[in-house]
Amino acid sequence: MKPAPFDYHRPISLDEALDLLSNLENAKILAGGQSLIAMMNFRFVQPDHLVDLARIPELTGIEERDGVIRIGAMTRQRDLEFSDVIAQRLPLVKAGLAHVGHRQTRNRGTIGGSLSHADPSAELPMLALAQDATIEVRSTRGARRLPAREFLRGYLDVAIELDEIVTAVEFPCWRAGHGWGFHEFARRHGDFAIAGAAALLELGEDQTVERVSITLNGVDVTPVRLTSAEDVMRGRRLDAELICAAAAETRHLEPLEDAHAGAVYRRHLAKMLTQRALGDAAKAGALIASV
Amino acid sequence: MRVNGVHYEREIEPRMTLGDFLRHEIGLTGTHLGCEHGVCGACTVLIDGRTGRSCLAFAMQEDGSEITTVESLAQGGELNILQQAFQDHHALQCGFCTPGMLMTLTELLRDNQNPNETEVRETLTGNLCRCTGYAAIVEAALDAAQRLAAAREA
Amino acid sequence: MGVKQFGARVKRVEDPALLKGQGRFVDDVKMPGVLHACFVRTPFAHAFVRNIDSTAALQLEGVVAVFTAADMPQRMRDERMPMLVPNAAIAALRTQHALATHEICYAGQTVAVVIAQSRYIAEDAAALVDVDYETLPAISDLRSAVAPGAAVAHSDLPDNIASSFKMEYGDVDAAFASAPHVFEEKLWQHRGGGMAMETRAVLATHDPATDMLTVWTGSQTPHIGRRMMADMLDRSVESIRCIAPDVGGGFGPKAIFYAEEPVIAACALKLGRPVKWVEDRREHFMCATQERDQYWDVALAVDAQGRIQGVRGALLHDTGAFVPWGIIMPYIAAATMPGPYVVPSYRLDVRVALTNKVATTPVRGAGRPQAVFAMERLMDRAARELGIDPAEIRRRNFVQPEQMPYSVGLMFRDGKPLIYDSGDYPKGQSEALRIADYEGFRARQSAALAQGRYIGIGIGNYVEGTGLGPFEGVTVRVLQNGKVAVATGATQQGQGTRTTLAQIVADSVGCRFEDVVVTVGDTAAIANGVGAFASRQAVNAGNSATLAGTAVQAQIVQLAAQTLGVAPEDIDVADGQAMARTGNKPVLTFGELARLSQGMPGFSMQPGQTAGLENTAYFTPPQAAYCSGTHVVEVEVDPETGGVKILRYSVAHDAGNIINPLIVDGQVQGGVAHGVGNALFEWMKYDEQGQPLTTSFADYLIPMATDVPTCEIAHVETPSPLNPLGVKGAGEGGTIPAPAAILAAVEDALRPFDVHVTETPLTPERIVELLEAAGAYEQINSQIEERA
Ligand code: FES
Ligand code: FES
């Protein structure tokens, strides 16, 4: 299990990286390497060139501006996990991060790497979708901004070109005091989820659902928003019955089967976990709203 | 690259993993490879002070980094507090997972001086052990935390 | 007198080096000029090899050679690998060729080997070796394998039955005809592996000056390996040295002599250079032997009080493509089933199926976890149907301590009747129940249920034959520096063999524990050896150590008495010295005695004096020593996800007299972890074409630190009367009853829904399926509404 040979490049500026990518054949971007190198060791992936982004300073950092949290693509998951800004402004992301792999992989894994790998059971793509994040990508041809739902195109597939690099992710914050809930089920701690649910809620007067986001992972080729459930909830008074009705919308899902789990089970989990995530979101939201 | 405070320079193929570099280029065979796909944790080392899987890093990436391996723990040949706790609690059997366990716990006990059992167990999920059933490793970690606290007070 | 070491919680001598990163595993051995091997393995489960073209591979820079079967020594071309335990009941005596000659029968089988400057290059080249295969229909599932018209796993065999035999005693049909209650179960345990954290590894080098072939191998049985290697390479045993240095876990699969070992040795001989092969994890999943896959179709006949009248049924065992270790596992399984219970009549029809998957050989437990699962599932079933408490129904059926030695009624595989030497099963169970607070459980359960939580308790009992022969050797020698050297054919993969033998020798010779230096796993250290399997080393090597140590102490006493001019009765030996009890109590140290024992050049030895202070003993156990135990497990099941959490794990364990409780507790805890894996996680899956599907640690799930609880362990010590130390084996008992107990607990937790579990590993998905089928979710919803 040794990787096939490749040439290694370590640009020190974004422009240099973009130049390399536009000129090299069969090149891959090396971010944290926590998925890529494993796949290279198995020789499932055999790039001729690796472009390591680790020494490009402008690709790391977390900053807040106008209610938007901008995260450099090479920011390590561990730094997100311990960021105060994220804890305060994106509590759902903070909760989800605890489920990402293990301490050793979070130390090295990056947000841009995880999004670009786009594993349908992973947490970060799901969180980006849940929060309606925007992905910023660059190439020598210029910059583009894609909403997460367009970026996450298919199974391990994202809507960027071979010469493009994800440079940053922007998470718009929800109103202070919004409710959130994150539940996933994995066979073991830190494993990829069989299924998971993330919920965000903003409640108005009288516990009316003003804004809601329900996102699932592990049930399709990409993470999915359960928009029909969101429609069910919006404008209605939040109570247990409404949560059940929303969770029941998981019946329309048609999950994939693989060696880890069948479709029926994934759908079952989706329902149970949606219920739990919404339950938590309702509690958190209601509590804060009532203070 | 600096490993355990010693500077090394080698010409290598880009594809050589950090684990193979440590083991076969500079002869530090204390770091073990159990899976080479990032799950077992036997290859865990500290890279600039943070744990990482040395099978999921190319040595080239760490040009200029400071690497810390299991060989650095016993100062002057004496087992350190964590190592001693491992022996006292029988926290190793075959010893193959042990270097990775020690490095993971070294980071944990540095960052969290008073971890509870759940924190220790969750941290250890990044390291597989087939021999011990983990109980003794968890005990050793908790005991080491206490001994370290006592040593700090003294 | 020195402090007695036997029975003390002595810290291990193995630890300091391993903790400092100074262990020496095969891949750590430095060898100048070493070349690296990578095997070309077939991607198909069943095929003929038509042609192998290595042209492209040989052109790659850094490639030294590509060898196929045609390049191997004649015996390896003409003959298959040796079988470890041949048996008349095996119809298909099939093992593989070291390198494929024509037909390959499982995915991953060795076809050729590339030797290169580095493993990286060897892998590049292996991908360039062009093998022309003609694929054949493959058989994967063991039940399909024995169905009429199934594809055959070997093209020249008429069917897939490797063996069929019967184990029986008593009139079982009469018992079933007259019994008031008969309960049937169909059970399945899936494949799993040993999954030691260190993969296999071989390093071979040949020294032309001495014609010595030295082979480092991550093996549990280097002496056996050497013998087989000698046969295959047509060399004398004396010209081969096998060393098993530090080995990163064994658990059974490393007790096998594998194709890679003679091939790497042959390459080193052929090239005149050291050659190393370190298995990677994917190879380990495909090519290291596995175990467990068995179907049981069994029935239990009981009277109205739940007393067993008879057990009968059929066992179908998957041996995979070959039978390298004979049919030991189904044999052991069949012999283990009666367990701690009085079973008046018994019959098990056993069939062993060939499939196109890697062979099965013993993995920690070796057929016993399956047998215990079968028996305990039947006991739980009877308890439930008859309304008897599960602990009580077991109590009613135990073999009683006063019945020891107890003849089960079966013949064991050595042709002798199967006789339990000692044990107190009722006490074992009551101890386990006590530490589990079984009494208080039903109250805990109802309290939990009132909060909508589902907890359950399960019991697993077992009896395990340990310490099997033939022998193990131990040499004890007093050195001139006063240290005591111990050499043994026993090996270690984490069991603390060196520590326990040092304890025994310190006691029996009379020296300090620190002064004993033990060498294990090196065929150069002792002529004859066997190695680690069947929880045998404490019994075999432990007793040899005490015999050899005692003999050496007698030599010491004799020599000291002669030298000091006192009677032997007046000599005390302790702490590495012999002291006269009389006069001014003169003392001779072991070092002085060792020098004296060499005699003087030109002078005759004293009458009766042996040269050197040294003895080698080969203890040969007359039969197995039976250890036993009870596991009691408390779990919580989350019906919404099917997740299972183990809340509490209690073990009562009888391994006879205990040499080192620290080590035995570690063996139990580690064994339980493996059992948790078998019960809930580990499933080596194959598709219908025999393609392995779970070849990474992300797909094949072994338990993590959050999955294995800390066990509470009670020791019940009934010494074995069959060996001087009174010990029994302890390596596998932790694993054996775990699946039975854990599944029973899950079933108990889900009692409100009347769910029945019959398969391991029991996955969350399966639990949800069962709950769905039982209408549990409607039930739960209405309960929630009621509460609201
Ligand atoms: S060898 Fe790196 S995680 Fe297993
Ligand atoms: S001690 Fe052997 S794997 Fe942990």
The type of residue at A48 is D
Tens digits of per-residue pLDDT, B25-64? 999 999 999 999 999 999 999 999 999 999 999 999 999 9
The alpha carbon of B127 and the centre of ligand 2 are apart by a number of angstroms equal to 10
Residue B133 CA from chain centroid, whole number: 18
Dump strand ranges (E) for C436-528. 454-466, 472-478, 484-488, 516-519
Domain that holds residue C271: 31-136+198-248+253-287
Q: Cβ separation of A30 and B61 shorter than 8 Å?
A: yes
Q: Cβ separation of C704 and A188 shorter than 8 Å?
A: yes
In this predicted structure, the answer to whether residue C670 has a pLDDT above a threshold of 90 is yes
Give the pLDDT of residue C325: 83
Ligand 2 pocket: which residues have CB below 6 Å?
A: B 92-98, 129-132; C 197, 249, 494
Domain B2-72 matching CATH 2.60.40.420: the answer reads no
Give the pLDDT of residue C414: 67
Give the pLDDT of residue C527: 83
Choose, out of A43, A46, A81, A102, the residue to mutate when testing the contact with B (most B CBs < 10 Å): A102
DSSP percent split of chain C into helix, strand, coil, nearest 5: 30, 25, 40
Give the pLDDT of residue A287: 53
- Residue C20 is assigned to a structural domain of this protein: no
Residue extents of the structural domains in chain A: 7-52, 59-172, 179-284
> Once rounded to an integer, what is the mean pLDDT over residues C516-538?
84
B81 touching chain C per CB within 8 A: no
Same domain, C693 and C755: yes
Same domain, C717 and C769: yes
- pTM of the prediction? 0.95
Tens digits of per-residue pLDDT, C320-344? 999 888 888 899 999 999 999 999 9
Can you give the C-alpha Rg of chain B in angstroms? 15
What are the start-end ranges of the H helices in C387-435? 390-397, 425-435
In angstroms, the CA A25 to CA C493 distance is 48
Q: Cβ separation of B50 and A6 shorter than 8 Å?
A: no
Q: Which numbered ligand comes closest to the C-alpha of B136?
A: 2
Question: Are C201 and C276 within 8 A, CB to CB?
Answer: yes
Nearest-neighbour CA in chain A from B11: distance (Å)? 13
Nearest-neighbour CA in chain A from C124: distance (Å)? 7
In this predicted structure, the answer to whether residue B19 has a pLDDT above a threshold of 60 is yes
- Domain A59-172 is in which class? alpha beta
In angstroms, the CA C180 to CA C300 distance is 11
Same domain, C241 and C309: no
Tens digits of per-residue pLDDT, C287-300? 999 998 999 999 99
- Residue C143 is assigned to a structural domain of this protein: no
- Integer CA distances (angstroms), B62 to A58, B46, C512, C767, in order: 19, 11, 48, 46
Give the pLDDT of residue C210: 95
Which residue's CA is the closest to the ligand 2 atom numbered 4?
Answer: B129
Q: At what angle do helices B135-153 and B81-89 cross, to 10 degrees?
A: 140
Interface of B with A (CB under 8 A): 13-15, 17, 20, 36-38, 41, 44, 47, 50-53, 55-58, 60-61, 63, 104, 107-108, 122-123, 125-126
Give the pLDDT of residue A290: 45
Share of chain B above pLDDT 90, in %: 96
Same domain, C308 and C415: yes
Superfamily covering domain A179-284:
CO dehydrogenase flavoprotein, C-terminal domain (3.30.390.50)
Give the pLDDT of residue A277: 97
- Residue C1 is assigned to a structural domain of this protein: no
Chain C residue with CA closest to B42: the answer is: C197
**Record: fold of B81-153:** DNA polymerase; domain 1 (1.10.150)
In angstroms, the CA A42 to CA A1 distance is 5
User: Closest Cα to residue B124, out of B142, B104, B110?
Assistant: B104
- The enclosing domain of C532 has a CATH number of 3.30.365.10
Residue C788 — very low, low, confident or very high, per pLDDT cuts 50/70/90? Answer: low
In this predicted structure, the answer to whether residue C413 has a pLDDT above a threshold of 80 is no
In angstroms, the CA B27 to CA C559 distance is 48
Q: How many Cβ atoms are within 10 Å of C1's Cβ, its own excluded?
A: 8
User: Which residues touch C347 (CB under 8 Å, ≥6 apart)?
Assistant: C166, C167, C168, C172, C311, C312, C313
In this predicted structure, the answer to whether residue C1 has a pLDDT above a threshold of 70 is no
> Once rounded to an integer, what is the mean pLDDT over residues B119-131?
96
Average pLDDT, chain A: 93
In angstroms, the CA C533 to CA C311 distance is 29
Tens digits of per-residue pLDDT, C223-238? 999 999 999 999 999 9
**Would you call B120 exposed, middle or buried from its count of C-beta atoms within 10 A (0-12, 13-18, 19+)?**
buried
User: Closest Cα to residue C464, out of C678, C256, C734?
Assistant: C734
Same domain, C219 and C70: yes
Give the pLDDT of residue C86: 67
Q: Which residues of C touch B42 (CB under 8 A)?
A: 197
Q: Cβ separation of B15 and A38 shorter than 8 Å?
A: no
Q: Which two tokens stand for residue A107?
A: 């130390």
Nearest-neighbour CA in chain A from B154: distance (Å)? 31
> Once rounded to an integer, what is the mean pLDDT over residues C73-97?
82
C655: phi then psi, degrees, rounded to nearest 5? -115, 30
Same domain, C587 and C691: no
What does the DSSP assignment read for chain A?
--PPP-EEE--SSHHHHHHHHHH-SSEEEESS-TTHHHHHHTTS---SEEEE-TT-GGG--EEEETTEEEEETT-BHHHHHT-HHHHHH-HHHHHHHTTSS-HHHHHH-BHHHHHHH--TT-HHHHHHHHTT-EEEEEETTEEEEEEHHHHEEETTEES--TT-EEEEEEEEPPPTT-EEEEEEE-SSTTSPPSEEEEEEEEE-GGGBEEEEEEEEESSSSS-EE-HHHHHHHTTSBP-HHHHHHHHHGGGG--PPP-SS--HHHHHHHHHHHHHHHHHHHHHHHHHHHH-
The alpha carbon of C227 and the centre of ligand 2 are apart by a number of angstroms equal to 29
Q: Which of 210-229 (A) contact C at CB < 8 A?
A: none
The alpha carbon of B44 and the centre of ligand 1 are apart by a number of angstroms equal to 7
> Once rounded to an integer, what is the mean pLDDT over residues C571-592?
92
Weakly modelled stretches of chain A, pLDDT under 70: 286-291
**CATH topology agreement for domains A59-172 and A179-284:** no
List, in sequence order, every residue forming a beta bridge with C760; answer none if it has no partner. Answer: C189
In this predicted structure, the answer to whether residue C779 has a pLDDT above a threshold of 90 is no
DSSP strand pairing (C712-715 vs C643-654) = parallel
Tens digits of per-residue pLDDT, B85-106? 999 999 999 999 999 999 999 9
Angle at A173 between CA A172 and CA A176, to 5 degrees: 165
In this predicted structure, the answer to whether residue C787 has a pLDDT above a threshold of 90 is no
For C131, the 3-state DSSP assignment is strand
The secondary element (H helix, E strand) that includes residue C747 is helix C738-749
Same domain, C414 and C475: no
Domain count, chain C: 3
Looking at the domain that runs over A7-52, which CATH code has it been given? 3.30.43.10
Chain C residue with CA closest to B124: the answer is: C705
Tens digits of per-residue pLDDT, C242-283? 999 999 999 989 988 999 999 999 999 999 999 999 999 999
- Residue C746 is assigned to a structural domain of this protein: yes
- Residue C320 is assigned to a structural domain of this protein: yes
By most ligand atoms within 8 Å of CB, the mutation choice from B22, B23, B53, B130 for ligand 1 is B53
Same domain, C419 and C325: yes
The alpha carbon of C694 and the centre of ligand 1 are apart by a number of angstroms equal to 17
- Residue C191 is assigned to a structural domain of this protein: no
Q: Which two tokens stand for residue C639?
A: 């019906």
Q: Cβ separation of B96 and C496 shorter than 8 Å?
A: no
Give the pLDDT of residue A286: 65
In this predicted structure, the answer to whether residue C112 has a pLDDT above a threshold of 50 is yes
Give the pLDDT of residue C529: 80
By most ligand atoms within 8 Å of CB, the mutation choice from C14, C18, C19, C197 for ligand 2 is C197
Q: Which of 43-62 (B) contact C at CB < 8 A?
A: none
Residue extents of the structural domains in chain B: 2-72, 81-153
Same domain, C655 and C709: yes
In angstroms, the CA B18 to CA C785 distance is 58
Report the nearest atom of ligand 1 relative to the CA of B38: 3
Give the pLDDT of residue A291: 38
User: Closest Cα to residue C383, out of C748, C652, C757?
Assistant: C748
Tens digits of per-residue pLDDT, C585-628? 899 999 999 998 888 777 777 777 778 899 999 988 888 889 99
**CATH topology agreement for domains B2-72 and B81-153:** no
In angstroms, the CA C279 to CA C281 distance is 7
Tens digits of per-residue pLDDT, C440-495? 999 999 999 999 999 999 999 999 988 887 888 899 999 999 999 999 988 889 98
Same domain, C93 and C65: yes
In angstroms, the CA B1 to CA B65 distance is 5
Give the pLDDT of residue A152: 95
A44 touching chain C per CB within 8 A: no
- Residue C599 is assigned to a structural domain of this protein: yes
